[in-house]
Structure 1
Amino acid sequence: MSMQKSHEGEKQLLNINIKESKEYEQNEESKFKTRAKLYRFEKKENKWKERGVGDIQIFQHKTSKRCRVLMRREQTYKVCANHYPAKYIKFKQNEGNTKSWIYNAIDYSDGAAKDEILFIRFLKEESANKFKTVFEECVEINENLPKTEETTEETTEEKKEKTEETTEKKTEEKKETEEEKKETTEEKKETTEEKKEKTEETTEKKTEEKKETEEEKKETEEKK
């Protein structure tokens, strides 16, 4: 299953929010808001590329109670970050910079599910720490929501882990099967050798018996 299909449930919700109006945001409450600069890592070019400067917010929907991260560029108001806080996301600092965070997320700011490496630089260390705290609180909120068709969609990371576990299991099973085949082959070899030894013993015994019979016949003829 492709990443885009595996996140179809999230895509249906998040695509609503990519509109240039604040219509959907009116049904959300802001749990966090601050000005920041956002970058994403371009793998092909192997470098960080600026996504925009503006307010980054963490919203919670009034009805569904689901939380998401949204950032729009100032002036153009274009979405440059749009993803859910989820348990697979791990934060790390950029070379000890206490005013920034780097993390992976399945982001929908371009309208399709993309596994992005994001780098957010805040104005203050306090803002960076507050963002992480609220983000982690929202992870718990999202994880404890009633399971629906959308919320039961597996993340790319979870699918990756499952695939790796399945691959390891199949490799182990294949190894065990090969070992069993090897043991069976060795057993067959031993059986063949045993048969060969038995045949040789039988042949030797018959030869010995034949020799003894011939000697007995010879003695009998001499007595006559």
Structure 2
Amino acid sequence: MASNDPDREEEAAAAGEDEDTGAQVAPIVTLSEVAVTTGEEEEDALLDLKAKLYRFDKEGNQWKERGTGSVKLLKHRETGKVRLLMRQVKTLKICANHLGRTLRPVLDSVLPSVKIQEHAGNDKSCVWHASDFADGELKEEMFCIRFGSVENCKKFMETVEGIAESSEKNEEKESEDASDAAGLLDKLSVHESKTEKAPEEVPAAAVKADDETEK
């Protein structure tokens, strides 16, 4: 006698679906593990925060979203150079890549008067100009980045400003060292020049002996 209970029929159907038939299905495609290089292997992260990035479209005169993901300040272990790098979440596509000089990421190739600053009307955001390489070519861009909290925004700005200050101090020291070295080289060159042009000194005894011989 057939059962009219729908719950029992569903249980029986589910049991049939879960029943192990013992059949083995070989995979159609075998995937091998591939090592992926990101270019960050020789760098240490000074900062790593989640944020949303915007780029200012000059033609449309409006902000356009560039991507959401993790923004990092990376310092190279050997050269000491710092850059700002941001990748989109999941796809890991680069949406910002500022190649900086030694300890000077965001402010590289930017007018001295332009600095990173808070976005007007939003204390979770800040704006800056930079020569960006995210699209494979160096372009002047204006960026705005928005964080999930005021604390993260301040942390980002303070870290960038601290790196810029360290860069200025290092550049001043390098300039002073170069000037000192140049001064020493100039003094050495002048001393060598005078030594080459100075006449040979003749002992007084030899001069007297020559005079007596002539007499």
| TM-score, structure 2 normalization | 0.55
- The residue that corresponds to 1:39 in the other structure is 54
Check whether the contact 2:107–2:129 (CA below 8 A) recurs between aligned residues.
Answer: no
1:106 aligns with 2:147: no
1:129 aligns with 2:160: no
Q: How do 1:53-68 and structure 2 match up within 5 A?
A: 53-68=68-83
Distance 2:145 2:156 in 1: 10
Shift, 1:22, TM fit:
4.1
- The residue that corresponds to 2:97 in the other structure is 82
Shift, 1:137, TM fit:
1.9
Distance 1:141 1:85 in 2: 13
Identify the structure with the greater helix proportion.
1
SS in 2 for 1:76: coil
Provide the identity percentage: 38
- The residue that corresponds to 1:197 in the other structure is none
Runs of 4+ in 1 over 6 A off after TM superposition: none
Check whether the contact 1:36–1:122 (CA below 8 A) recurs between aligned residues.
Answer: yes
Shift, 1:24, TM fit:
2.2
RMSD of aligned C-alpha atoms?
Answer: 1.9
Check whether the contact 2:131–2:141 (CA below 8 A) recurs between aligned residues.
Answer: yes
- Of structures 1 and 2, the one scoring higher in RCO (CA 8 A, sep 6+) is 1
Unaligned segments of structure 1, at least 5 residues = 1-20, 148-224
Change (3 A) 1:131 1:22: farther
Q: How do 1:3-22 and structure 2 match up within 5 A?
A: 21-22=36-37
Q: Which amino acid aligns with 1:55?
A: S
Q: State the Cα deviation string for residues 33-64 of structure 1 (Å, max 9, x = none).
A: 11000000000111111000000011111111
Q: Which amino acid aligns with 2:106?
A: P
**Aligned residue pair count:** 127
SS in 1 for 2:41: helix
Unaligned segments of structure 2, at least 5 residues = 1-35, 99-104, 175-215
Distance 1:92 1:138 in 2: 15
Q: Which stretch shifts more, 73-82 or 134-143?
A: 134-143
